[in-house]
Structure 1
Amino acid sequence: MRRDHGAAAKLAKALGIVLGTEQIPLRLKAWDGSEAGPEGAPVLEFRSRRALRRMLWSPGQLGMSRAYVAGEIDAPGDVFEAFSALSSVGKFTEPGPFRPPTPAELWSLVRTAIRLGALGPNPAPPPEEARIQRKGRLHSRRRDSAAISHHYDVGNDFYALVLGPSMVYSCAVWPGDAEGMRGPTAGARLVEGLDAAQEAKLDLVCRKLDLKPGMRVLDVGCGWGSFALHAAGKYGATVVGVTLSAEQAVLARKRAADAGLTDKVDIRVQDYRDIPDGPFDAVSSIGMSEHVGREHTPGYAAALFALLRPGGRLLNHAISWNAGPTKPDPDSFIPRYVFPDGEMISLGEMVAALESAGFEVLDVEALRRHYALTLRAWVRRLEENWDQAAGLAGLGRARVWRLYMASSALGFENNLTGVNQVLVQRPGGEEPPLRLTAWL
């Protein structure tokens, strides 16, 4: 029997204060068995009083995220339905950091915590947050290396479960009929099409760079080597791939050896600022520049310009911040748990930096909706392999990745974030062929 009273009703009021709304489009379930909220709505389950205590001490996105990572809050049904409902109201619809509660609202939260027996000292953050050591000068080589290691050295086996055989950790390019592949029944179709969609993206980058046999290519932020293998195996290029993740480099080298491409693919653990053996005929940077930071983007563009021969092309594939000029909160969930020191900038800022470095812009293509589908496929793969993923990375880390990927998919669907491929060329050499048709 459902009871619209008890802890759940009080939780609804407290959650409304945190979110900045009186109407919560969720069915709340509390630890005492009580329920509150609209019948048939997505379910958000509070399994412990500690979740409310976290919201009291950090009344915003961070407190709720900590409770989710710790397993004190859960969305037992379709995670996309629950997160979508949660993000459709109040402060989640506003760009930038959560507005803090007023003194009166904070006192109301305290009274609710007292009534529910949740008042107490600030709980320690889940250990997945505590592992991040943000020390030293921002975007120094040492600090960047530590930040990359935190995210990418979770384990190659864990990433293989989520990404699939393609081992590509960036936006795929989907066929036109994939747009409707959402919801519980469509997830399986997305998983089935993921590898083909990732190969389509890799091939698109190769065609935009106009790769030819014998060309020397630099892949900045090469990941597990998927683009390097594609460019070498399908286009005959010689590729230098650089990453700051030692675990990625080990697997990338093994994949190159297994494919018989060790003579064409050189994988290095190296910072892009320390590459001594330019110039290159082409440069790919896929999902890497988000780690550079706004202040360092001009230097990043200048470094890649210097590594290209005259006439050479750079393809910069990067997530962008579409929600206005507000700078994201460095203490929100993503910077603390997922991408330490990462920073999305706008498409305009990226294009301006590339042009200021001396590049000519040849093409810009937006892939925002493609990334939403890619993330939905990754979430489906994670959920299908949940027990194994939790065994490899730990339950808390698996919950971090589920929250991060599902919420990111909704960010792309709601146009808060985008992803763009910007194709530029260093002046000199031959003019590119006149092109009047789309890439796809």
Structure 2
Amino acid sequence: MPDAAHRIRDIAEHALSVPFPLRIRAWDGSEAGPAHAPALVFRKRRALRRLLWRPGELGLARAWVAGELDIEGDLFAALDVLSDLIWERGTEAGGPAEPPAGRAESARKALTALRDPATYRLLRSALTLAGPGLPPSPPPEEARRRSGLAHTRSRDKAAISHHYDVGNAFYEYVLGPSMVYSCAVWERPETTLEEAQRAKLDLVCRKLGLREGQRLLDVGCGWGSMVLHAAEQYGVRATGITLSAEQAAYARKRVAEAGLTDRIEIRVQDYRDVRDGPYDAISSIGMAEHVGSERYLEYARALYALLRPGGRLLNHQIARRPLQDEEEYRIDEFIDRYVFPDGELSPVGTTVSRLEEAGFEVRDVEALREHYGRTLRAWVANLEAHWKQAVAATSAGRARVWRLYMAASAISFERNSIGVNQVMAVRTEPGGLAGLPATRTAWLS
């Protein structure tokens, strides 16, 4: 009689010390767990083998990307429930890492647990279910292990290429016509994704106080949406920089089709190599997460040097919650291996402090956390609606990476595990003049 699902449920509940809240369906056709809950589907026994060889987040991620593990039913509801069991126990993205002493204590407890007859029987059951064999190779979508220092020019370029150079057609299916890959601003319940992205771009332009004839630098320009909006709606001369060759080619094509090649330049260039300042304004939208904590002050100083006195910076950046005493920041293994290699999040307070250390005066901070949850849900809906086309444009594994990453991120924003903030800062003029109207309402109008 098929019983793999019941045995997997028993193993999970013993490991977690609580009832497992999802239904489990196994490769042998067996099912166990709540009848009306979303189903965690083990399509192949290899998924269990991955978990035994690499317990925890990375084993789960590899099984998911390889198509050996899936969720049927409401993906968001399933991830919300699982977050209580896994990520909220201190393994969320950016959550605390177990210190070396703690790992030693965990190992001691594991050895002690093996002496318990029930634990020993469950482990033997898991080994039998998983079947013999060496650990399966990681899916091809996994980033190769990196050596050397993080956030050098060459390593940053490789990290950006891993994330963005997966085919522009794939991003068209996910992002929609706006081709904006950052948090939208949803002004009304009935707002569409395209309207919300236009509202976000316009909000950035208004915070920067853009006027006709000014020079704008967009750091991490993506597929060119910000520079196009700023040039078309505000009459600026714009430069967009990216490390992605595919993004640059796509953005240049859009600029040419809009007839704006005389006002917009797109470069494949590192922010550390820009030498043609001063600019009147700089936008950095969803790029600073790639900078790294050790390089952040260098990043802030580079942008400060590129601004004229009185010029403004708009830094739009995802933030994590501050760590508690003696906690250690840990980069999420799934995100690091499959989504943003070397990506790091910092608390918004740290970002503000680094900008001030570089010489900026921070004049405005706006939190948009709830807006990002809705944006991510819209992207997941786009991906699911165009699943076959998206898979054909890249790979089935890559599409599964993005579906899991975006859905899990939506839950993280909604639960306040992470946030996103727009920080507007000014390089003040001699004597401390900021060149801003007296009130926020006035300079946003």
Where does residue 348 of structure 2 map in the other structure? 347
Partner secondary structure for residue 290 of structure 1: helix
Q: Does 2:9 correspond to 1:12?
A: yes
Task: Give the aligned partner of residue 217 of structure 2.
Answer: 218
Matches within 5 A, 1:310-321: 310-321=309-320
- 2 CA distance for matches of 1:430 and 1:356? 17
Kindly indicate whether the alpha-carbon contact (under 8 Å) linking 1:113 and 1:119 is maintained by their aligned counterparts in 2. Answer: no
Contact 2:426 2:434 in 1 (8 A): no
Contact 2:205 2:230 in 1 (8 A): yes
* Cα distance in 2 for residues equivalent to 1:433 and 1:275: 30
Change (3 A) 1:117 1:159: closer
| CA drift at 1:116 | 1.8
Residue 145 of structure 1: which of 129, 142, 157 is its match? 157
**Letter of the aligned partner of 2:204 in structure 1?**
V
- Following superposition, the deviation at residue 135 of structure 1 comes to 3.4
Contact kept, 8 Å, 1:42 with 1:85, in 2: the verdict is no
Q: Equivalent residue for 1:156?
A: 168
CA offsets, 1:311-356, max 9 Å, x none?
Answer: 1000000000126355553461000100000101110110000011
Please list every run of at least 4 consecutive aligned residues from structure 1 whose deviation after the TM superposition is greater than 4 angstroms.
Answer: 97-101, 105-109, 325-328
| Separation (CA, whole Å) in 2 of partners of 1:89 and 1:416 | 15
| Amino acid in the other structure paired with 2:360 | F
Query: Does structure 2 retain, via aligned residues, the 8 Å contact 1:364–1:423?
Result: yes
Q: Distance in 1 between matches of 2:133 and 2:123?
A: 10
Deviation at 1:294, TM superposition (A): 0.6
Give secondary structure in 2 for the equivalent of 1:369. Answer: helix
Question: Aligned residue for 2:407?
Answer: 406
Q: 1:137: Cα distance to partner? A: 2.2
CA distance in 2, matches of 1:328, 1:380: 32
Match of 2:202 in 1: 203
Letter in 2 for 1:249: A
Q: 1:96 to 1:16 in 2, by over 3 A?
A: farther
Match of 2:265 in 1: 266
Against the structure 1 CA distance between its residues 327 and 207, is the aligned structure 2 distance closer, same or farther, given a 3 Å change threshold?
farther
Report the CA distance between 1:289 and its aligned residue: 0.3
Closer, same or farther: CA 60–328 of 1 in aligned 2, 3 Å: farther
The TM-score normalised by the length of structure 1 is: 0.91
Which residue identity does 1:115 align to in structure 2?
Answer: T
What are structure 2's unaligned runs of at least 5 residues? none
Describe the shift of the 1:91–1:145 C-alpha distance in structure 2 as closer, same or farther (beyond 3 A): closer
Q: How does 1:157-172 map to 2 (within 5 A)?
A: 157-172=169-184
RMSD, aligned α-carbons: 2.0
Give the Cα–Cα distance (whole angstroms) in 1 for the partners of residues 63 and 131 of structure 2: 13
Identity level (%) = 57
Q: Which residue of 172, 185, 193 maps to 1:173?
A: 185
Match of 1:120 in 2: 133
Q: Distance in 2 between matches of 1:241 and 1:194?
A: 23
Which segments of 5 or more consecutive residues in structure 1 lack a partner in the other structure? Answer: 179-189
Q: Is the contact between residue 30 and residue 47 of structure 1 (CA under 8 Å) also seen in structure 2?
A: yes
Kindly provide the amino acid, as one letter, of the partner of residue 125 in structure 1.
P
1:268–1:436 distance in 2 versus 1, CA, 3 Å? closer
1-structure distance, mates of 2:253, 2:45: 48
1:46 equivalent in structure 2 = 42
- Deviation, structure 1 residue 133: 5.0
* 1:33 alignment partner, SS class: coil
Partners of 2:122 and 2:329 in 1: CA distance: 26
Paired AA for residue 368 in structure 1:
R
1:156 is matched by which residue type in structure 2? Answer: N
Letter in 2 for 1:311: G
SS at match of 1:218: strand
- CA displacement, residues 356-387 of structure 1 (integer Å, 9 cap, x when unaligned): 11110110000011000000000000000001
Deviations 1:241-284 (A, max 9, x none): 00000000001001011111111110000000000100100000
Moved more, 345-354 or 316-325: 316-325
Letter paired with 1:340: P
The one-letter code matched in structure 2 to 1:6 is D
Q: Name the counterpart of 1:182.
A: none
- Distance in 2, Cα, partners of 1:31 & 1:97: 34
SS of alignment partner, residue 241 of structure 2: strand
Decide which of 60, 75, 79 is 1:64's aligned counterpart: 60
Whole-Å separation in 1 of the counterparts to 2:140 and 2:329: 23
- 1:14 positional shift: 2.4
Query: Hey, what does 2:435 align to over in structure 1?
Result: 431
In 2, Cα distance between equivalents of 1:436 and 1:113: 60
Match of 2:31 among 30, 35, 46: 35
Aligned residues: 422
Kindly provide the amino acid, as one letter, of the partner of residue 112 in structure 1. S
| C-alpha distance 430-348 of structure 1, shift in aligned 2 (>3 A) | closer
1:394 CA drift (Å): 0.6
User: How far off its partner does 1:138 sit?
Assistant: 1.0
